[in-house]
Structure 1
Amino acid sequence: MDFLQYMDLSPTLPLLFTLSFLAATVLPIGSEWLLILLLMKGHPPVFTVLTATFGNYLGGCTTFLIGIWGSDMIIKKILRLQTSDLNRAKQLYGKYGSWSLLLSWLPIVGDPLCLLAGILKTGFFRFSILVFSGKFLRYATLAYLVTSGSARQ
């Protein structure tokens, strides 16, 4: 809370949306602490969870689009993959990998999973269902733990 006061910010749903969005891109920040703070201050769990989920989902979509638009550069200049390696990766990812998007909420690996989905041209509908579901379940579980814990006190 001291950080928010120092930055002259108050804990609000728009701030949660922004922080959740940024946390799903390349910035190494978390949004869970603000979700918990808002819930402890009495914000409605449904709106709080949906705000964080949509922000984090849209941040994941941004990373996905970077993968789509930058795929040639990423594949050729950064990863230096041969066509045969890329085809094999696409085959493996198509068979098993897209389900990994349910884990897109995880720190460190989540953003690269969204980027990889873009690079390998995962269908946007499939991407959206899996990423939104994973991110929603994370925030909903966290909200449940916070609200059920405060209900017992």
Structure 2
Amino acid sequence: MLELTLFVTAFLAATILPFSSEAAFLVALSNDMPTLNAILSASSGNILAIIFNYYLGYFLYEKTKTKLLKSKIGNRSYALGHKYGYFALLLSWLPIVGDPLTLVAGLVRLKFVWFVIIAGVLRVARYYFLTLMI
């Protein structure tokens, strides 16, 4: 049951909702949840949520692209998203800024496989490093 709670919390935390998956992860570990189970539960919830964010951005492409390209700043932002999108994903593990980056990745239509590899590995690494810190 603790695994499911951690999974759901990690999923919700990786959306725009203001949850802290790190706090839930640490609570799960302090309640004697095995480390591997905690990492798998939190990572899988988080990765599923960033995939959701990606496809949300992907399906909003037409509406947002039209609005973006009407302004000078929007044009520049769109071009930068295409040029530096994969590098920006290296920040996707960070709280607050990381989750919107996963939505933007879908919006600028970064390749899905590379998106999952980069952002997913960083999500797993974040929980792994949290276990090393406690």
TM-score range, shorter chain: 0.7 to 0.9
Gap runs ≥5 in structure 2: none
Q: CA separation in 1, counterparts of 2:49 and 2:64?
A: 19
Q: CA separation in 2, counterparts of 1:113 and 1:67?
A: 10
The equivalent residue for 1:65 is 55
The equivalent residue for 2:7 is 17
Gap runs ≥5 in structure 1: 1-10, 147-153
Contact 1:99 1:130 in 2 (8 A): no
Matches for 1:121-140 after TM superposition, within 5 Å? 121-140=109-128
Q: CA separation in 1, counterparts of 2:66 and 2:83?
A: 23
Cα 1:25/1:48, change in 2 over 3 Å: same
Count residues with an aligned counterpart: 134
Q: CA separation in 2, counterparts of 1:65 and 1:76?
A: 18
The equivalent residue for 1:38 is 28
Contact 2:85 2:110 in 1 (8 A): no
Match for residue 46 of structure 2 among 56, 65, 74: 56
Identical columns (%): 37
CA RMSD of aligned residues (A): 2.1
Contact 1:102 1:133 in 2 (8 A): no
Letter in 1 for 2:120: F
| TM-score of the superposed pair, with normalisation by structure 2 | 0.87
